[in-house]
Chains A and B, each alone.
Chain A
Amino acid sequence: MNFEMPIVRRGMLARRVRPAPVAASVLATLGAGALLISGLSPASAAATAYRSAPHQSTARGAKGGGTVTFAEPPNATPNAIFPIATAGNTAAHNSAIQAELYVPLTFYDATSGKLAFDARASVAKSIVYSNGDKTVTVTLQKLKWSDGSPVTSGGVEFFYNLVKANKAKWANYVGGQFPDNVASFTILSPSSFRLALTSTVNPLWFSGNELSLVTPLPQQAWDVESSGGKVGNYDTTTAGAKAVFNYLNGQDNHLATFGTNKVWKVTDGPFTIGSWTTSGAVTLDKSRTYDGSDAAHLSSVQLLPFASADAEFNVLRAGGLDYGYVPTSDLSQSGYLKSKGYTVKPWNGWAINYAPYNFNNPTLGATLKQLYVRQAIQMAINQPEIAKAVWQGEAAPVYGPVPQSPPSAFLSATQKKNPYPFDPAKGKKLLESHGWRPDSSGIMTCKSAGSGASQCGSGVKAGTVLDMHTLSESGSTQTTNQMEVMQSELSSIGVGFQASYAPLNTVLSETAQCKPTQASCSWQLSFFGTQGSWYFSPSPNGDPLFATTGSANFGSYSNPTADKLAVAATTSANPAALRAWSSYLAVQLPAMWLPLPAYQVSAIKDTLKGVSQDPLAGQTIQRWYLANG
């Protein structure tokens, strides 16, 4: 049965959002599309909903070439090229650049309002499911590497072998999923391969959430174990694949050499690296060797770093950027920007926002494992008020693990309703009913240790102080204000809360899964959601975030019931499976749900055309062009 779909990409992002009318309609359609797909057979789904995105060719009046300047998110700079992302390297701006250099196996886009397989931005031409959805056959389109070699199924197998041997290091790995769920990888021809799966899968989920993680790699250039080493077939053995991965990952750690390292010069995408500074300034040059159907129009694109949103806005206001963003505190300046030739419009996402608790923190882990503690904390956070006042209405509350807005078939009634509305008095009472009393500074202290109904709970020692520290990303006044408001609100129920700030890359690298005995387990709460914490694939499965084996389960949340629901959602095409997940985790609070800001409120120069603001957070820079005049 043919199933020409796929759907998106999973990515740990740092972006922002909000339910603007335009975006709401975009996402509503996406949600409806996903629901429709879920209820259909793969074949009919392919015919109904998954079609190639309309090609925006260079319009009449456009001029080829030219350079465009683009603002990177505040205090968040790209720091990785290697498409097999490791922890700390998963930010959206990394994957956006990688997709311009290394064409992913599948690329999905929802800019048009409907989820669509973007064939021109993908290596895959078709994906066919057979054998009761246990066998997947993929055919590739014709493309070549910059060294002249063709892009083949061998490059996909190379990716598969590296991931299989190094899955613990792969940031997108979830136990039991890709590559664990692939029983065999068979090359049928240079342009096709077959995957035999260990069990039946939900095709929507597998194409959209699993195959979208795969990027064909230049095996003919990268299959080496050391610098200057001879190219071989080392990836075919586990030891060899480990050595190759370590070599490539090692090259990926040398930020200063990204612009010159010959490893990264072999690409198959529409762009190549012109320069890359350690401060995060990246220039992408049009690839002269790209032979696909999606060549870049611009000669180069400059991605510019900024220490803060305010710094970026100063440059934008002076006309120094072709594509920037407006901090929500400066939305009153939209009229001025329009008068200077910019179009201002929000970029909304299919995402959620949350702050993970570290359940393995040696000081507070046992306390945070108590559901009543998490409930009390959640009841103290006034999300609607924060969204309205701090984010100037450019954010929307989040009450569970699937995108809250727009309503979709995946959103449970429980999550939609908000099981824990703002009620600090109730939250405080909840703590007090479990043996917590405020100390002289007003912070709750466990006075009654034990696992009884009126005691602090299993593992919580008497004298434990409910005083949390969070590491938050810096660079945004709104994020700082949100942290200050949260500190104030939590103090009203006797929960201490202090925030310190660091650049996004630092926050992501320090928010690592850990054992209580490890020094790296000192973090208690982390926030990296100035632009949204997590952007979903079309099927908003959150297993990477909250399944026990999830690669992005930073806080080591572990709940057998949640794990079973996560598995069910990957095998069933019925959206009820994801609704069950949504309902259960909305109640269980595996993380602190927080308002989701827009990815950004973009300011785009009127002369820059071809820009799409994909709710899935993908970018197709190759389609940007400058209009004449």
Chain B
Amino acid sequence: MSVGRDTVVRRFLRHRLGTAGLVVIALLFAFCFLGPLVYHADQTQTSILAANPAPGTQGHPLGTTDVGFDELGRLMVGGRASLEIGLAAGLLATAIGTLWGAVAGYAGGWLDAVMMRVVDTWIAIPALFLLLVAGTILRPTVGALIVVIGVVSWLVPARLVRAESLTLSNREYVLTMKALGGSGARAIGRHIVPNAIGTVVLNATFQVADAILLVAYVSFLGLGVPFPGTDWGGMLSNGISYTYDGYWWMIVPPGVAIVLVVFAFNVIGDALRDAFELRLEGR
């Protein structure tokens, strides 16, 4: 097993784009979480008389926002929220979907039918619509956004893992364990989920990317992290109001950051897929 794991890592690292994605993510995390330790900018008190100077003026490398926040510092704070929500919501969605799909596939029969019809029904409702409804009911906080986005995003992993589970639950080692009196929980926890881990991990990367985009969507619609907090989607939404004023520094940096992080997670996912498939071929 350790040989296989080493192979996956090596094959992943040979995927140049995937490796580049990993580096980008690492740099963005460092920028957002370590940056504020070395670059100090007040991100709670507005300074409206210092609103909107261009980059490089008045000690603001990236200018300021419309209420006088330093844009570079804002980018760090916003990125922290976007990455936290995206990562946590993506993992939450993956966890829910994995458990749901594994149980459905393993149980089969009427329970499988009921559980998957729930998925079918839920997936027919646009996630953005659900998020908007939730956004009008709940006061948006980082925690609430994680839960809400996680709850609307678990459907795809549920379907994927269910398909894996259907196959795995008929494998001899699972049937043997059942014949020896092993419980369903043990089968799922010890055999089905671990053996579907390639699919789960691969999907998790896409889930994180999708969750970051969803955060951007809801923030763009005004339902994001409440002031004085922010996230990249909220920053972008705010900046769009100043399109005609030429305040590009309120639009380009958060826009580029969103593109970068989503692209990075996607190429990591691609690299992981290639790495896992090669591992299987190796068997």
Name A residues whose Cβ lies closer than 8 Å to a Cβ of B: 310, 313, 317, 327, 329-330, 332-333, 336, 385-386, 388-390, 474, 477, 481, 483-485, 487-489, 491-492, 498-501
Contact = CB atoms under 8 A, between A and B. Distances in A.
B48 interface: yes
B227 A389 contact: no
Contacts of B45: 488, 491-492
A488 B242 contact: no
B82 to A, nearest CB: 19
A329 B226 contact: no
Interface of B: 44-46, 48-49, 51, 66-68, 139, 222, 226-228, 238, 240-242, 244-245
Contacts of A389: 48-49, 51, 68
Contact of A484 (B49, B139, B227, B240): B227
Contacts, number: 57
B241 A332 contact: no
Given A477-B66, A477-B238, A484 B245 contact: no
A332 B66 CA distance: 15
B244 A386 contact: no
Contacts of B242: 329
A329 B241 CA distance: 7
A386 B241 CA distance: 18
22 contacts: A310-B240, A310-B241, A330-B245, A332-B244, A332-B245, A385-B49, A386-B48, A388-B49, A389-B49, A390-B48, A390-B67, A474-B222, A477-B241, A481-B48, A481-B66, A484-B46, A485-B48, A485-B67, A487-B227, A488-B45, A491-B44, A499-B227
B244 A333 contact: yes
A501 B244 contact: no
Contacts of B245: 329-330, 332-333
B249 to A, nearest CB: 15
Nearest to A310: B241
Task: Tell me the dominant secondary structure on chain A's binding face.
Answer: helix
Contacts of A501: 222
A488 B46 contact: yes
A484 B67 CA distance: 8
B281 to A, nearest CB: 52
A388 B67 CA distance: 12
A484 B244 contact: no
Residue among A389, A491, A499 with max Cβ neighbours from chain B (10 Å): A389
Nearest to A489: B46
Contacts of B139: 498, 500
B36 to A, nearest CB: 18
Contacts of B222: 474, 501
A329 B226 CA distance: 22
A501 B240 CA distance: 19
Given A477-B66, A477-B238, A481-B66, A488 B44 contact: yes
A409 B255 CA distance: 53
A389 B222 CA distance: 22
The 6 tightest CB contacts between A and B, nearest first, are: A389-B48, A488-B46, A477-B241, A484-B227, A485-B46, A488-B45
Nearest to B242: A329
A487 B66 CA distance: 15
Given A310-B240, A329-B242, A333-B244, 14 more contacts: A317-B244, A329-B241, A329-B245, A330-B244, A330-B245, A386-B48, A388-B49, A390-B48, A474-B222, A488-B45, A488-B46, A489-B46, A492-B45, A498-B226
Contacts of A313: 244
A481 B244 contact: no
Contacts of B66: 329, 477, 481
B161 to A, nearest CB: 38
A290 B51 CA distance: 53
A488 B48 CA distance: 10
A488 B67 CA distance: 10
Nearest to A333: B244
A332 B241 CA distance: 13
Contacts of A481: 48, 66-67
A500 B139 CA distance: 8
Nearest to A502: B136
Nearest to B246: A332
Contacts of A487: 227-228
A327 B241 contact: yes
A488 B244 CA distance: 27
Nearest to A485: B46
A336 B244 CA distance: 10
A501 B68 CA distance: 22
A498 B48 CA distance: 18
Nearest to A500: B139
A484 B228 contact: yes
Contacts of B44: 488, 491
A474 B237 CA distance: 14
Nearest to A498: B226
A385 B46 CA distance: 12
Contacts of A386: 48
Contacts of A499: 227
A488 B241 contact: no
Nearest to A499: B227
Contacts of B240: 310
Nearest to B226: A498
